[in-house]
Amino acid sequence: MKNPTSRNANRMIDVIFVHPKHRSYVIWHDGVFYQLTRMNLTQKAWDRRAVYDGLLDEIFVAKESCEQGETDERAWQELGLNVVKLPDELHSITASKFLAWWTVNRYGFWHAKDARDVSDKDMQNLPEPTAEQKPQQKIQQEVGAEQQVSASTTQQSAMDNKASKNGDVMDNAVQTNQANQALTEQTQMQVSPKSTHKPHKPLEQLSGDDIFDALLDDLVDEVSHLR
């Protein structure tokens, strides 16, 4: 049984070169260089290809071999070409330098390409999330819930602050009322009490014990003034 790494290393690729002087493409296909009539890779141009017999230092790796789109890949596959993406640093090197690079690095190139292909295939075959909602939707809902909680917390804090201010106002009003009452009572206590003696009628209008009581009151008042 042959070593599978040897088979991978010996796999061939098709590389597109450009000939600046002739303004045409040169394709390295199955180990042979073919020159086209012009710089136009179509089925008609590929059918009229001829073996390139010029110098390898006169042709250079074209950007199409390093920069590829899906449209280019489909067009080359229709022509039966296996044009794979080369590293960017190979762009514009001569064909002789490319062959030297390929001899040394072809095994590593195929190994890295196969690993990328397997990784891309696995990513494409990943199942859709089985949960009722996708992660992005779940994140959006969680963010919305957090915003609602934050808004509710802010509103509750504002209500608490308002209630606290109202309580302070009521407390101040009660304290002010109590102070006013205390001041009123103190003022009333400081006012000189009125005389408890009832004014009596003139003596000529009194009789009996009333006359004696009136005279006694007058005597007490005079003694008080003498002290």
Q: pTM of the prediction?
A: 0.52
Residue 165 lies in a domain: no
How far apart (Å, rounded) are the C-alpha atoms in residues 69 and 83?
Answer: 11
pLDDT in tens, the chain (227 residues): 334 444 555 688 999 999 999 999 999 999 999 999 989 889 999 999 999 999 999 999 999 999 877 778 888 889 999 999 999 999 999 999 999 999 999 999 999 988 888 877 777 776 665 555 455 665 566 656 566 655 566 666 666 665 565 556 556 655 666 666 766 666 556 544 444 444 555 555 555 566 767 777 777 776 666 65
Residue 60 lies in a domain: yes
Residue 55 lies in a domain: yes
Within 10 angstroms of residue 62's Cβ, the number of other Cβ atoms is 22
> Domain span at residue 119?
15-123
Residue 9 lies in a domain: no
Structural domains of the chain, count: 1
How far apart (Å, rounded) are the C-alpha atoms in residues 133 and 148?
Answer: 20
How far apart (Å, rounded) are the C-alpha atoms in residues 149 and 37?
Answer: 72
Using a 10 angstrom Cβ sphere, with 0-12 exposed, 13-18 middle and 19 or more buried, the burial of residue 207 is exposed
Residue 78 lies in a domain: yes
Tokens 């230092």, located at residue:
57
Residue 196 lies in a domain: no
How far apart (Å, rounded) are the C-alpha atoms in residues 87 and 31?
Answer: 19
